[in-house]
Structure 1
Amino acid sequence: MTLMVFLLIFITETATEKLCPLRASIDVLEGEYFFLCFPKSKQQHSWKEEHTINWHKESAGRQKQIQETQRIVSQMNFLEFWPVELGDSGNYFVTQSNGSLTIQNWTLNVLERNKSSCFNQNHLTTEIQSAGIGHSLKCSDLSVNENDSITWYKDCKRYENERGRELDFKTLSVQHSGIYTCKISISREGKIYHSTNTIRLVVEEDAPETVTLEIVGRNEEIQTEIGKEETLNCTGFLGYYIQEDASLYWWFNDTFPKKCSGIPEADPPICEEDLKKSHLGNKFYITRLLRIKKVREEDLHHNFTCKLQADEITHIKVVKLKKGNTRDLSMHVFTTGMILAVLFPCVAMAVVVVCVIFRVDLVLFYRNISQRDDTAGDGKEYDAFVSYLKDCVSTSEEEREFALRILPMILEENFGYKLCIFERDVSPGGAVVDDIHSFIDKSRRLIIILSQNYISDRAIYELESGLHKALVERKMKIILIEYMPISDYDFLPESLSLLPSKRVVKWKKDKSLPVNSRFWKTLRYLMPAKPTKSNTKGHCMNLDLGSEGTQPWTGDCDFSTVI
């Protein structure tokens, strides 16, 4: 008899744990049934009546105790939503009795439902399998009743007559690839509510590449200056799908940094931003930035440690700050200017106007008189790799003319830069992918000539390689040239938005042709600083893109500002 009681208690506790998965951050679709719960411990099973459970919600910095309604029902260790709404997003926690003990915390994110589809792209998981093996897709436990009705859909169309919690495939084939959604129907008080779980199944002919979760990049030292703002980047590689249990965070001086509020004036001196998810191709990454308002002397003696935790394994990357060389128009120069502006208002106003209008000219002039050289000793062979439309058929030859003739003629012949242009500098017959990666790795900048027809196989690989070095390795800066007016940039990867800073230089045809135009000055400003000499040839070219060849420039050429 004692043995049977023990088995009954064991089975009951096991069932409870199954119904209450441990989860800290949860995404759920609006309009669906959903519940929060926590498994009772042995101590909680022995609570007397005077011990009560209180559910609380924190939103916009305010906390309030949840009161039961017809839609939100509290049953001891369960908080049920019939159904969940967008306004339910927030932080939830449970307290015992008078609130002296917090039992568990959750972050609930309610996603807006896609009106034109049966699923939301942000509310699915990805499974990658090899063809020729058996596999089962499992519908997550989104209800408390094992007898609830379940219906499976593939690409939003009902999938045969499968109604179980598992969808079995005896032998996978490529044709089985697709987006599968299981819909659980739950009845309550005469109404039917639904919960859905969506899985993207990718079936490959060959086994997928074995990947290891890791922090991208090695330990590094960043050159900085006292009083300068710095942003430290930590990116974790997750493989071919987002792992919800993976966590990425910063740690320094034996403390966790506070979260950035989004209001710079209200943020602490050092804070970390929210976790961002991204993907390059079919590989997924998570990124967390650590923002330092002003570098202090003591910050140079701290180790800023980034930790990636997943599958009970911790990966660590250490970043150190050290004093570097003087940069263009450093912070103390602007500080001195602001003090002078208070003492001499009229002079200050003129200085501010000049600095705003001629900022690029001042930096170029500063580089010229100081003979700065950012390229010395960095081991790079090229100043920039030029990526432009090449494989797609364009309506004109203007982009090719600009990339292969105008750009190298001005930057190389007039200002001494060395460009890498694939069609011009790479011998045919090699491995294209390897050549592209090698030449980008040898370059200090990636120049992208934007076009609505930009995306081609080779162009997208050049862009992703450059983004990887700029976003993950912090070894390259990207310069965007808008050769023709573009209404939106949806054709570019969303990972481009993760760059701390980026600059678009617009080509304005005849207005941009002279070597002392604003276009070329801005482009030189974004290129690495290196000693250059004025072009002694003293000529301008009128490049008529609508006709063959070049014609002598008939306008006035003022070379007094060419550096």
Structure 2
Amino acid sequence: MKGKILLVLLLFWPGVCPLSFQEVHVKSGEMAVLQCPSYREYSDGDAEVFWTSHTVDEMKLFNMSTSAEQRQMGVLVHGRILVILRASVNHQGNYSCSFRNSSRRSWINLRVYTVESKESGKMIQDSKTCYTDKSCTLYCHDENILFDTWNITRNSTTCHKEGEPSPKDGYFSSVKKEDSGIYTCTWSYLYDGQIYNMTSMVKLDVQPSEITKKAVIISPENSQEFDVDLDSTVVIDCKAVTSSDTDDLFWLSGDSFVETNSTLPVFYNYTWVNSTEEISMTASLVFRQVSEEDLSKNYTCKLQSDYETSFVTITLKQNDSTVVIDCKAVTSSDTDDLFWLSGDSFVETNSTLPVFYNYTWVNSTEEINMTASLVFRQVSEEDLSNNYTCKLQSDYQTSFVTITLKQKAVSHLAMGLCIFLAVLVVLPVAIYTMFNIILWLQKNLGFYHRAPDRETASFEDSLLNRNSRRP
């Protein structure tokens, strides 16, 4: 298989087809569950998925055709789900998955911790804030995996704080300050006569009941304009802070509600974080591909609260400053990867960053055309000082190209034109000012010369004539 890379500088932003990256934390000796993200054209059912392990052991390919060997190794694979029955440090590392006839690959980083590990705190997946003398229920993160395929059944669930009895079903009828701490939730599963566990952690923070009521949008600003490019993907975050979990944050397009259906051209996502004294809410307005119609509309983020309702309205404005550099490659394998590096660091696919990249591909009869589009929202001095590398990672041959950005110098013709225009503007003003100064001097300092009247001129002429006749 042979890869070719071609760079093309474009002033537009093509469609988005990003790669996926996840991180999974698991306790040593417990069950680890990895899920391959689904794509629109592939179902969640029996789609054929190829899993690859890039761990300390040699690379091993897991698919449905080697199920007996996988069970012997303590690994179960079915479609999008890979289960490691008892994870160890040897399982730690990167895993990738891809669907048949797809060049898109998703990556999952599995981190295995021991009880003594300093990094075991990263297993805390949820946090909960409750208030003294109020009821409180802990909800631990559940993978919610359907294990019917392997006859795996849930045996029991416990949630406890170290050294203390666990509350029934994680429920406190009247929570106290001393109930604060880290709680461990353990799910027990039965498979093939053996018990396997999964652990999740939740942090409980108990605060005084007296809290200041607030409900305010902190960004964006009202009447703010956002510079965008036509046909580009744009995400605008509306962030609010409130003290009530019944408040609602959402987007309007004109007078119509924007929906949360991610298949629509314009939609929004909603997330929230419950911290010590307040609830941070984010409603992310997403434009899949900015159109002329989007530029003509007003969009309003509204915070609906029993305490105080507020809103901000924003508009989109077409921008000329975005730079897109397309790295194009041709290959014959759908397992090859095409991506960008900034120095030695990976460029991410997060479109909210100042510099990111998009990935698209077209699978033709004899080859696969791949494009990784490096996007600079607004080129900075730091961008000019960095090297950017487009890398084609292939099992056959790895190749790369490195580029730099250079600030475009102002041409002599443009500079001369600027000087000429400046002279045209300044010179008439200078002449007019000088003329007024001269008139003022003549009038006020006695330099003003008055023309002689008709009688005076005749008298002077007669004197001249008389003198001229004298011998």
Structure possessing the higher relative contact order (Cα contacts under 8 Å, 6 or more residues apart): 2
Q: Give the TM-score, by structure 2 length.
A: 0.38
Q: Give the TM-score, by structure 1 length.
A: 0.32
Bigger radius of gyration? 2
- Higher fraction of helix: 1
- Higher fraction of strand: 2
